[in-house]
Protein backbone atom coordinates (compact mmCIF):
# COMPACT_ATOMS: atom_id res chain seq x y z
CA UNK A 1 0.00 0.00 0.00
CA UNK A 2 1.35 3.42 -0.95
CA UNK A 3 -0.44 5.89 1.33
CA UNK A 4 -2.19 5.92 4.69
CA UNK A 5 -4.19 9.06 5.37
CA UNK A 6 -4.57 9.65 9.12
CA UNK A 7 -7.31 12.17 9.93
CA UNK A 8 -8.15 13.13 13.55
CA UNK A 9 -11.44 14.94 14.04
CA UNK A 10 -13.86 16.32 16.60
CA UNK A 11 -17.41 17.28 15.62
CA UNK A 12 -16.75 17.68 11.90
CA UNK A 13 -19.95 16.08 10.56
CA UNK A 14 -20.56 18.94 8.13
CA UNK A 15 -17.14 18.76 6.47
CA UNK A 16 -16.65 14.97 6.35
CA UNK A 17 -18.71 14.16 3.20
CA UNK A 18 -16.96 16.87 1.17
CA UNK A 19 -13.55 15.86 2.52
CA UNK A 20 -14.11 12.18 1.68
CA UNK A 21 -15.24 12.98 -1.88
CA UNK A 22 -12.26 15.29 -2.42
CA UNK A 23 -9.76 12.74 -1.12
CA UNK A 24 -11.30 9.96 -3.24
CA UNK A 25 -11.11 12.10 -6.39
CA UNK A 26 -7.45 12.96 -5.81
CA UNK A 27 -6.38 9.41 -4.96
CA UNK A 28 -8.19 7.83 -7.90
CA UNK A 29 -6.88 10.46 -10.29
CA UNK A 30 -3.30 9.81 -9.17
CA UNK A 31 -3.82 6.03 -9.10
CA UNK A 32 -2.58 5.51 -5.54
CA UNK A 33 -3.30 2.48 -3.41
CA UNK A 34 -4.43 3.91 -0.09
CA UNK A 35 -6.39 3.74 3.13
CA UNK A 36 -8.18 6.49 5.04
CA UNK A 37 -8.11 6.26 8.83
CA UNK A 38 -10.64 8.55 10.52
CA UNK A 39 -10.03 9.10 14.24
CA UNK A 40 -13.17 10.33 16.00
CA UNK A 41 -11.87 11.94 19.17
CA UNK A 42 -15.09 11.84 21.17
CA UNK A 43 -17.43 13.71 18.81
CA UNK A 44 -20.89 14.56 20.11
CA UNK A 45 -22.46 15.08 16.68
CA UNK A 46 -23.06 12.37 14.07
CA UNK A 47 -19.47 12.27 12.79
CA UNK A 48 -19.10 8.58 13.67
CA UNK A 49 -22.29 7.65 11.85
CA UNK A 50 -20.97 9.33 8.71
CA UNK A 51 -17.62 7.53 9.03
CA UNK A 52 -19.46 4.23 9.48
CA UNK A 53 -21.38 4.86 6.25
CA UNK A 54 -18.10 5.53 4.42
CA UNK A 55 -16.65 2.26 5.74
CA UNK A 56 -19.69 0.23 4.66
CA UNK A 57 -19.34 1.24 1.02
CA UNK A 58 -15.53 1.60 0.87
CA UNK A 59 -13.24 -0.99 2.48
CA UNK A 60 -10.35 1.47 2.26
CA UNK A 61 -11.96 3.52 5.03
CA UNK A 62 -11.11 2.62 8.60
CA UNK A 63 -12.22 4.32 11.78
CA UNK A 64 -11.45 4.57 15.47
CA UNK A 65 -13.94 6.09 17.88
CA UNK A 66 -12.71 7.23 21.29
CA UNK A 67 -15.03 7.03 24.28
CA UNK A 68 -14.34 10.68 25.08
CA UNK A 69 -12.16 13.54 23.87
CA UNK A 70 -8.56 12.57 24.66
CA UNK A 71 -6.81 15.08 22.42
CA UNK A 72 -5.18 15.19 19.02
CA UNK A 73 -1.91 13.59 20.12
CA UNK A 74 -3.61 10.48 21.45
CA UNK A 75 -5.71 10.22 18.30
CA UNK A 76 -2.67 10.47 16.05
CA UNK A 77 -0.78 7.90 18.12
CA UNK A 78 -3.61 5.40 17.65
CA UNK A 79 -3.77 6.14 13.91
CA UNK A 80 -0.01 5.72 13.52
CA UNK A 81 -0.16 2.26 15.05
CA UNK A 82 -2.86 1.25 12.58
CA UNK A 83 -1.29 2.79 9.44
CA UNK A 84 0.10 0.32 6.87
CA UNK A 85 1.01 2.60 3.97
CA UNK A 86 4.63 3.22 2.96
CA UNK A 87 3.90 6.93 3.38
CA UNK A 88 1.69 8.23 6.18
CA UNK A 89 0.04 11.61 5.63
CA UNK A 90 -1.83 13.46 8.35
CA UNK A 91 -4.38 16.16 7.73
CA UNK A 92 -7.17 17.90 9.60
CA UNK A 93 -10.82 17.18 8.84
CA UNK A 94 -12.03 20.80 8.72
CA UNK A 95 -11.19 21.30 5.00
CA UNK A 96 -8.47 23.82 5.84
CA UNK A 97 -5.92 21.27 4.59
CA UNK A 98 -6.19 20.60 0.86
CA UNK A 99 -6.06 16.98 -0.39
CA UNK A 100 -4.49 18.37 -3.56
CA UNK A 101 -1.23 18.55 -1.58
CA UNK A 102 -1.09 14.77 -1.11
CA UNK A 103 0.78 14.06 -4.33
CA UNK A 104 3.49 16.64 -3.66
CA UNK A 105 4.06 15.40 -0.12
CA UNK A 106 4.15 11.77 -1.27
CA UNK A 107 6.74 12.54 -3.96
CA UNK A 108 9.01 14.33 -1.50
CA UNK A 109 9.06 11.23 0.71
CA UNK A 110 9.45 8.65 -2.09
CA UNK A 111 11.49 10.48 -4.73
CA UNK A 112 13.51 12.89 -2.59
CA UNK A 113 13.91 10.42 0.29
CA UNK A 114 12.78 12.70 3.10
CA UNK A 115 12.00 11.02 6.40
CA UNK A 116 9.37 13.65 7.21
CA UNK A 117 7.89 16.62 5.37
CA UNK A 118 6.06 19.32 7.30
CA UNK A 119 3.53 21.61 5.67
CA UNK A 120 3.96 25.37 5.84
CA UNK A 121 0.83 27.48 5.53
CA UNK A 122 2.71 30.53 4.32
CA UNK A 123 -0.46 32.43 3.47
CA UNK A 124 -3.11 32.06 6.17
CA UNK A 125 -6.73 33.13 6.43
CA UNK A 126 -6.86 33.23 10.23
CA UNK A 127 -7.20 36.30 12.41
CA UNK A 128 -3.80 38.00 12.58
CA UNK A 129 -4.23 39.13 16.16
CA UNK A 130 -5.65 35.90 17.59
CA UNK A 131 -3.67 33.27 15.68
CA UNK A 132 -1.05 34.58 13.23
CA UNK A 133 1.09 36.66 15.58
CA UNK A 134 1.08 34.16 18.49
CA UNK A 135 1.78 31.40 15.99
CA UNK A 136 4.85 33.21 14.63
CA UNK A 137 6.23 33.74 18.12
CA UNK A 138 5.56 30.10 19.00
CA UNK A 139 7.23 28.82 15.83
CA UNK A 140 10.24 31.06 16.42
CA UNK A 141 10.71 29.59 19.90
CA UNK A 142 10.24 26.04 18.57
CA UNK A 143 12.91 26.61 15.89
CA UNK A 144 15.39 27.87 18.46
CA UNK A 145 14.84 24.97 20.86
CA UNK A 146 14.57 22.15 18.31
CA UNK A 147 17.23 23.30 15.87
CA UNK A 148 14.84 22.55 13.00
CA UNK A 149 14.34 25.26 10.38
CA UNK A 150 10.57 24.80 10.06
CA UNK A 151 8.15 27.70 9.80
CA UNK A 152 4.91 26.00 10.87
CA UNK A 153 5.27 23.31 13.53
CA UNK A 154 1.53 23.29 14.17
CA UNK A 155 0.48 22.55 10.59
CA UNK A 156 -1.62 19.38 10.57
CA UNK A 157 -0.60 18.51 7.01
CA UNK A 158 2.54 16.36 7.24
CA UNK A 159 3.99 13.31 5.52
CA UNK A 160 6.16 10.58 7.03
CA UNK A 161 7.91 7.38 6.15
CA UNK A 162 5.99 4.60 7.85
CA UNK A 163 8.93 3.69 10.08
CA UNK A 164 9.03 7.23 11.48
CA UNK A 165 5.49 7.11 12.85
CA UNK A 166 6.15 3.68 14.35
CA UNK A 167 9.18 4.99 16.23
CA UNK A 168 7.78 8.23 17.67
CA UNK A 169 5.57 8.20 20.74
CA UNK A 170 3.05 11.03 20.54
CA UNK A 171 1.41 11.87 23.89
CA UNK A 172 0.02 14.81 25.84
CA UNK A 173 0.01 17.76 23.44
CA UNK A 174 3.16 16.69 21.60
CA UNK A 175 1.54 16.47 18.16
CA UNK A 176 2.97 19.93 17.49
CA UNK A 177 6.48 18.59 17.94
CA UNK A 178 6.46 15.38 15.94
CA UNK A 179 9.36 16.68 13.77
CA UNK A 180 11.31 17.32 16.99
CA UNK A 181 10.43 13.85 18.31
CA UNK A 182 11.48 12.31 15.00
CA UNK A 183 14.78 14.18 15.08
CA UNK A 184 15.44 12.82 18.57
CA UNK A 185 14.89 9.31 17.18
CA UNK A 186 17.63 9.87 14.60
CA UNK A 187 15.55 10.96 11.59
CA UNK A 188 17.40 14.04 10.38
CA UNK A 189 16.25 14.33 6.76
CA UNK A 190 13.31 16.58 7.58
CA UNK A 191 11.90 18.91 4.95
CA UNK A 192 9.20 21.50 4.48
CA UNK A 193 6.66 22.22 1.77
CA UNK A 194 4.55 25.31 1.28
CA UNK A 195 0.92 24.19 1.27
CA UNK A 196 -2.38 25.90 0.58
CA UNK A 197 -4.38 27.07 3.57
CA UNK A 198 -8.12 27.32 3.12
CA UNK A 199 -10.54 29.37 5.16
CA UNK A 200 -12.73 27.34 7.50
CA UNK A 201 -15.96 26.47 5.69
CA UNK A 202 -17.99 24.84 8.47
CA UNK A 203 -18.19 25.28 12.23
CA UNK A 204 -15.63 26.89 14.47
CA UNK A 205 -12.08 26.09 15.48
CA UNK A 206 -11.70 23.59 18.33
CA UNK A 207 -8.53 25.25 19.62
CA UNK A 208 -8.47 28.30 21.86
CA UNK A 209 -5.71 30.77 22.66
CA UNK A 210 -4.61 28.58 25.56
CA UNK A 211 -3.04 26.15 23.08
CA UNK A 212 -0.06 28.51 22.74
CA UNK A 213 0.53 28.46 26.50
CA UNK A 214 0.30 24.67 26.50
CA UNK A 215 2.59 24.60 23.47
CA UNK A 216 5.29 26.60 25.23
CA UNK A 217 5.08 24.40 28.33
CA UNK A 218 5.31 21.26 26.18
CA UNK A 219 8.30 22.75 24.38
CA UNK A 220 10.08 23.27 27.71
CA UNK A 221 9.24 19.68 28.70
CA UNK A 222 10.55 18.34 25.40
CA UNK A 223 13.73 20.40 25.70
CA UNK A 224 14.33 18.96 29.17
CA UNK A 225 13.61 15.38 28.09
CA UNK A 226 15.83 15.74 25.03
CA UNK A 227 18.84 17.05 26.92
CA UNK A 228 18.55 15.49 30.36
CA UNK A 229 16.17 12.51 30.31
CA UNK A 230 19.11 10.08 30.14
CA UNK A 231 21.33 12.13 32.49
CA UNK A 232 19.24 13.96 35.10
CA UNK A 233 22.24 14.48 37.38
CA UNK A 234 23.80 16.75 34.77
CA UNK A 235 20.98 19.26 35.25
CA UNK A 236 20.18 18.89 38.93
CA UNK A 237 23.84 18.44 39.88
CA UNK A 238 24.77 21.66 38.05
CA UNK A 239 21.98 23.56 39.81
CA UNK A 240 23.09 22.04 43.13
CA UNK A 241 26.68 23.16 42.58
CA UNK A 242 25.46 26.65 41.69
CA UNK A 243 23.44 26.83 44.91
CA UNK A 244 26.41 25.60 46.97
CA UNK A 245 28.65 28.25 45.39
CA UNK A 246 26.12 30.97 46.24
CA UNK A 247 25.77 29.59 49.76
CA UNK A 248 29.55 29.31 50.18
CA UNK A 249 30.17 32.87 49.02
CA UNK A 250 27.46 34.15 51.35
CA UNK A 251 29.00 32.19 54.25
CA UNK A 252 32.50 33.54 53.57
CA UNK A 253 31.06 37.06 53.36
CA UNK A 254 29.36 36.67 56.75
CA UNK A 255 32.46 35.21 58.41
CA UNK A 256 34.77 37.72 56.80
CA UNK A 257 32.74 40.73 57.89
CA UNK A 258 32.31 39.28 61.37
CA UNK A 259 36.04 38.56 61.76
CA UNK A 260 37.03 41.98 60.46
CA UNK A 261 34.78 43.81 62.91
CA UNK A 262 35.86 41.67 65.86
CA UNK A 263 39.54 42.14 65.02
CA UNK A 264 39.12 45.91 64.79
CA UNK A 265 36.86 46.09 67.86
CA UNK A 266 33.97 47.40 65.81
CA UNK A 267 30.49 46.78 67.25
CA UNK A 268 28.77 43.99 65.34
CA UNK A 269 25.42 42.18 65.23
CA UNK A 270 24.56 38.53 65.58
CA UNK A 271 25.13 36.47 62.44
CA UNK A 272 21.45 35.52 62.40
CA UNK A 273 20.51 39.22 62.17
CA UNK A 274 22.08 39.51 58.72
CA UNK A 275 20.18 38.69 55.48
CA UNK A 276 23.26 36.95 54.10
CA UNK A 277 22.83 34.24 56.72
CA UNK A 278 19.41 33.31 55.36
CA UNK A 279 20.63 33.53 51.77
CA UNK A 280 23.43 31.08 52.61
CA UNK A 281 21.05 28.76 54.47
CA UNK A 282 18.45 28.74 51.70
CA UNK A 283 21.12 28.15 49.04
CA UNK A 284 22.60 25.20 50.93
CA UNK A 285 19.15 23.62 51.41
CA UNK A 286 18.26 24.10 47.75
CA UNK A 287 21.63 22.72 46.67
CA UNK A 288 21.08 19.59 48.76
CA UNK A 289 17.58 19.13 47.30
CA UNK A 290 18.85 19.50 43.74
CA UNK A 291 21.55 16.90 44.36
CA UNK A 292 18.98 14.57 45.92
CA UNK A 293 16.66 15.01 42.92
CA UNK A 294 19.56 14.20 40.58
CA UNK A 295 20.51 11.06 42.53
CA UNK A 296 16.90 9.86 42.61
CA UNK A 297 16.57 10.47 38.87
CA UNK A 298 19.73 8.46 38.16
CA UNK A 299 18.58 5.61 40.41
CA UNK A 300 15.15 5.43 38.74
CA UNK A 301 16.76 5.52 35.30
CA UNK A 302 19.24 2.76 36.09
CA UNK A 303 16.60 0.52 37.70
CA UNK A 304 14.07 0.84 34.88
CA UNK A 305 14.71 -2.00 32.45
CA UNK A 306 12.16 -0.58 30.01
CA UNK A 307 13.96 2.72 29.41
CA UNK A 308 14.96 3.03 25.77
CA UNK A 309 18.61 4.13 25.91
CA UNK A 310 19.43 3.72 22.23
CA UNK A 311 18.00 2.49 18.92
CA UNK A 312 19.91 0.16 16.58
CA UNK A 313 19.43 0.94 12.90
CA UNK A 314 21.10 -2.10 11.32
CA UNK A 315 23.09 -5.19 12.33
CA UNK A 316 25.37 -7.43 10.28
CA UNK A 317 26.46 -11.05 10.86
CA UNK A 318 24.94 -11.34 14.34
Task: Write out pLDDT tens, residues 194-214.
Answer: 998 877 777 666 555 566 677
Beta-carbon count within 10 A of 283 CB = 20
The parts of the chain modelled with pLDDT lower than 50 are: 312, 315-318
| The domain defined by 3-228 carries CATH number 3.10.20.30 | no
Do the beta carbons of residue 2 and residue 86 sit within 8 Å? yes
Give residue 127's pLDDT.
Answer: 56
Where are the chain's structural domains? 3-228, 232-303
24-64: pLDDT as tens digits: 999 999 999 999 999 999 999 999 999 999 999 999 999 99
Give residue 318's pLDDT.
Answer: 46
Give residue 27's pLDDT.
Answer: 96
Rounded Cα–Cα distance for residues 108 and 38 (Å): 24
Give residue 208's pLDDT.
Answer: 54
CA dihedral 154, 160, 166, 169 (to 10 degrees): -10
Rounded Cα–Cα distance for residues 60 and 214 (Å): 35
Give residue 17's pLDDT.
Answer: 96
The β-bridge relationship of strands 158-161 and 190-194 is unpaired
Amino acid sequence: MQISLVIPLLNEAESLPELYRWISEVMQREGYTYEIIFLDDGSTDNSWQIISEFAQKDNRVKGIKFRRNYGKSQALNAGFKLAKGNVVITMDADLQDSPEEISGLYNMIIKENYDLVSGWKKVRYDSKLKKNLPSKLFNWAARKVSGLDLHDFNCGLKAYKNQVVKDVNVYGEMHRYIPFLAKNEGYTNIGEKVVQHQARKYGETKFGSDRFIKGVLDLITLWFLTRFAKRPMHLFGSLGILMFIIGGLATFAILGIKAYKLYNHIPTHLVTDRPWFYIALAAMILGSQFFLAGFLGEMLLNNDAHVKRYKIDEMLNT
